[in-house]
Structure 1
């Protein structure tokens, strides 16, 4: 019975074999090892698209429901289900659809039989609330069962990343692993090395672990908050219908939704549409009100945040960049400097530092940290890396593949199945 490790991520999903090989489950994509964790339900078709085909189909015609970052809702008791084309989809159903497609895509690489045993990654903390954390894992388990997995074990993602790092070690080390995902950052302090590598149960090697809801999506949101919200009417006012002299600011709940591309689609409802139409009629910034209307009602949030993410990536190697976005009545050509981006992200960096120091304080007496292993997309942000090099020294900070280390480690852990 084929076994595998599966890293179900907020942005990408990856699957690996017990030898650590990450499989090309998304052929034709820029990195075929990464299966985009998105679903698109076109209005005029019965089938649902997932992964890279979902993005391509959505970009052709955004009419329909584009579902992304579903992992970030697993802990939310208030988000039980959603209606799509007259059918009720539980959050477990949406996750199961993605996991099933990835599992089936692995079959050609596992002797024609899709894996049935899986070590499934999960954050160190889905939520700091114990009940919400339990709910998230229960939902993820039910989704995996619905996707066809019959034997399921969970492993927290930073431990999986640690097992990937351990494969290259020639001596034992005490390692701080920081895994920066799209939705969360997980940290684990763990003893790794040749003398421990063959142990099937590694729980005794974990000195401490923690997590925080800071990931790539929140860094993207800071670009939106500080550079782009004014282009969509932040700070503007509109006239209240029936009152010629009464004006109100753009509601904060609307602006707040613009900070999360996976939540923007949830405000495309009748009441919001009526508000946006009223704002177009009477806003003191009509061009910005028109841009806001098109962003929400034309379902352009994902396209905009792709441009934001691309600008963020460029700022990892450039001192400044221009964010260009031309869609409908939205005309953005914003110059963004790395210095401005880092200033905007200072609260996130401060929180990351506090979480790291908190873990080290709780693990005091375990010895000196030999190495710091950074993985995940946001580990490539210079300010994030600098946070750790300043604390531990450049020589002790290591990186490997930013996007598949967790999957590789989960695959290696699946050897025990």
Structure 2
């Protein structure tokens, strides 16, 4: 029986073997170890595309339903199912498609699909205990639908800790910070040669917590502060039938533009009517045209890819320009790293408070030997600097930002094969 570890992420999914090898499950992409956690249901086909093929098909012809960040809805009681071309898909169904495609990709390397899996989950899906349990229950059901018969869960920061532990030659008390697209998880854990290989690592965990801050929220701050005015924030329009009545563009519409997976939900009749009134009477017509095309032509995914690319460049350079030209949208926005860090300060403060809260709860356990940062947002200089200032440069460590959790889940899966 084949076993594996599987890191189902908001943006990407990765899978690893018991020896920690992360498998190339997306051979058609540049980063073959990362399977994009997206789905596309074309308007005129029965086929459901997943991963990079979903993106390619969507960019080729965006008529259809593109679904991204489904993991972020697992805890939501209000999101039970969605209608796509007359068929009802539960959230478990949607996740199962992604897990099944990853499982099939693993079969190409193993000879047959793995039956047992250690599946990662955030330390905290949500602070609501019932909703948190619902999210894990849904994820388990999706894994069963995908064909897994033995399923265990491991919180993602512990998995990242196991990946870090593989290189240790002495025991350490380690703070692990795993920055995902939707959440950040923190775990304080005892690691090292004397503990490596133990089947149950829960006694080594000193404390764990999480906060709903991830890469998506850093992207949203760029959208909020630099781009929303280009899509009508602060502008006014005239209400039909009331020639002298002008209203500001509603905040709830602008709020939906802050995340790609929410943007598609404003393509409803009432919002279309609002955008048509804006086209007729906005005091800044070019912003009304940009908003209309962004929403009605499904350009949100492309725009947020451009935002993400600028965020990545700002991790290496002092400034970058966001260039985006689609339909009637023309953006050439210069953004400095200092601006980005200013936009992000509320998120950094929240991360710092979450870290301090964990340290307060674990007071008296001894000095922390190392801080291990993993996940995409660990590459943001201001995020790293937050931990350098608190713990010192010599104690802050990093590894592969995108596959450390999968590697650790793979190592944990070794116990399933016994």
Q: Shorter chain as normaliser: what TM range? A: over 0.9
Alpha-carbon separation, structure 2, partners of 1:312 and 1:166: 30
Q: Tell whether 2:195 aligns with 1:203.
A: no
Q: How does 1:229-244 map to 2 (within 5 A)?
A: 229-244=228-243
Alpha-carbon separation, structure 2, partners of 1:30 and 1:336: 27
* Deviation readout 1:119-139 (Å, 9 max, x if unpaired): 000000000000110000000
Alpha-carbon separation, structure 1, partners of 2:30 and 2:18: 24
Please list every run of at least 4 consecutive aligned residues from structure 1 whose deviation after the TM superposition is greater than 4 angstroms. none
Partner residue in 2 for 1:169? 168
Could you tell me how far 1:98 is from its partner in structure 2?
A: 0.3
Partner residue in 2 for 1:132? 131
Count of residue pairs the alignment pairs up = 416
Could you tell me how far 1:311 is from its partner in structure 2?
A: 0.2
Partner residue in 2 for 1:316? 315
TM-score of the pair, normalised by structure 2 = 0.99
* Deviation readout 1:334-361 (Å, 9 max, x if unpaired): 0000000000000000000000000001
Partner residue in 2 for 1:359? 358
Partner residue in 1 for 2:213? 214
Alpha-carbon separation, structure 2, partners of 1:81 and 1:301: 22
Alpha-carbon separation, structure 1, partners of 2:261 and 2:309: 17
Q: How does 1:44-193 map to 2 (within 5 A)?
A: 44-110=44-110, 112-193=111-192
* Deviation readout 1:150-173 (Å, 9 max, x if unpaired): 000000000000000000000000
Alpha-carbon separation, structure 1, partners of 2:249 and 2:39: 31
* Deviation readout 1:51-96 (Å, 9 max, x if unpaired): 0011111111111100000000000001111100100110110000
TM-score of the pair, normalised by structure 1 = 0.99
Alpha-carbon separation, structure 2, partners of 1:266 and 1:105: 31
Alpha-carbon separation, structure 2, partners of 1:152 and 1:199: 19
Could you tell me how far 1:297 is from its partner in structure 2?
A: 0.4
Could you tell me how far 1:234 is from its partner in structure 2?
A: 0.2
Residue aligned with 2:260, SS: coil
Residue aligned with 2:76, SS: coil
Q: Which moved more, 1:396-405 or 1:247-256?
A: 247-256
Residue aligned with 2:261, SS: coil
Partner residue in 2 for 1:381? 380
Partner residue in 2 for 1:406? 405
Alpha-carbon separation, structure 1, partners of 2:247 and 2:138: 41
Which residues of structure 1 form unaligned runs of 5+? none
Alpha-carbon separation, structure 2, partners of 1:406 and 1:22: 10
* Deviation readout 1:92-119 (Å, 9 max, x if unpaired): 1000000000000000211x11001000
Q: How does 1:5-44 map to 2 (within 5 A)?
A: 5-44=5-44
Alpha-carbon separation, structure 2, partners of 1:296 and 1:68: 16
Residue aligned with 1:262, SS: helix
* Deviation readout 1:203-260 (Å, 9 max, x if unpaired): 0000000000000000000000000000000000110110000011111111000000
Residue aligned with 1:369, SS: coil
Residue aligned with 1:349, SS: helix
Partner residue in 1 for 2:393? 394
C-alpha RMSD of matched pairs (Å): 0.5
Could you tell me how far 1:275 is from its partner in structure 2?
A: 1.1
Could you tell me how far 1:278 is from its partner in structure 2?
A: 1.0
Residue aligned with 1:373, SS: strand
Alpha-carbon separation, structure 2, partners of 1:47 and 1:58: 13
Q: How does 1:327-338 map to 2 (within 5 A)?
A: 327-338=326-337
* Deviation readout 1:314-370 (Å, 9 max, x if unpaired): 000100010000000000000000000000000000000000000001000110000
Alpha-carbon separation, structure 2, partners of 1:191 and 1:338: 35
Residue aligned with 2:410, SS: helix
